[in-house]
Structure 1
């Protein structure tokens, strides 16, 4: 993760108030995490860093595209993504990131690395089912879709079964109606 030093925010020298940091995320960022689900990425990340006297607030916004295969046809396409993440940074005795919304840094800390939060935001912003836009609008023309249509089950009318019951049950039913 040594390649991700550009995502360090040194907050000791910053004045109280709002500060804006902007980053461009590409495939190299994900290679640092050994994440290979995306063939390419073109994502802009804006971080609004608000420094207050005792706490700091981060608002991270990511928007852009990732180049991924379609889950239905395996055709490559650019999936648009957008996401936001709010994070509060407090100071305590030791580092603690157990809570996903609150980060506790030791009192002697002078900077915070936000690369992990950007990574999680982007990965969680990707839809769980990635479908090529041409599949949705019906203009996709691929071998995989043709094969799926061939293998699709045809709806048939349900066949009614003859009502045949066991004669022993019929005798029991007679007992109920003989009251």
Structure 2
């Protein structure tokens, strides 16, 4: 992913102590990952980078919005994003990123990319069911919601009618339990 070189952190030249890195994430960032669920994005990611003699500690913080379609009405809205992600970077014989909170880099490494961690943090911060705020408060007016309400009324009317033969069977069950 050559488009994401600005997300490489060269840690060899940094002094021990705390450092700060800031990134403005937009739609182009997700396009580089071929992720098209977000119609737009405006997320500020701040990384608190602490270099120690034997390891690196990073704390990612994301604040902003991503524009997504509602799962109920299909209307787009800005979903708020707030997330944090801790990461510890240690050094070992070979690269290992199997643990989500621990990254092991080979001893000769001089930089690493934080793009994948930013991507995962933002994508996982979006709820699995995305509901427009106007749907939640009942003020949304859309054709899809009107159709759903119409079908809901039809479903309720249909369930009220029961066959009297089944009612007799239900009585048998209730009489048996008493």
TM-score (norm 2): 0.88
Per-residue Cα deviation, 1:2-32 (whole angstroms, up to 9, x for no partner): 0101001111111111101000000000000
Quick check: which one's helix share is greater? 2
Secondary structure of residue in 2 paired with 1:105: strand
d(CA) in 1 for partners of 2:160 and 2:59?
54
Please give the residue correspondences for 1:100-119 in structure 2 after superposition, counting only pairs within 5 Å: 100-119=100-119
Shift of 1:57: 0.4
1:62 aligns with 2:62: yes
Segments of 4+ moved more than 4 angstroms: 157-160
Please give the residue correspondences for 1:2-151 in structure 2 after superposition, counting only pairs within 5 Å: 2-151=2-151
Secondary structure of residue in 2 paired with 1:35: coil
Instruction: Name which one, 1 or 2, has greater alpha-carbon Rg.
Output: 1
**Structure 1, gaps ≥5 residues long:** 166-179
2:160 paired residue among 148, 156, 161: 156
Shift of 1:129: 0.4
Secondary structure of residue in 2 paired with 1:103: strand
**Structure 2, gaps ≥5 residues long:** 173-178
d(CA) in 2 for partners of 1:32 and 1:18?
29
Shift of 1:157: 8.1
Shift of 1:95: 0.6
d(CA) in 1 for partners of 2:161 and 2:58?
58
Shift of 1:156: 3.1
d(CA) in 1 for partners of 2:161 and 2:97?
57
Task: Give aligned pairs, total.
Answer: 166
d(CA) in 1 for partners of 2:113 and 2:20?
15
TM-score (norm 1): 0.88
d(CA) in 2 for partners of 1:53 and 1:5?
25
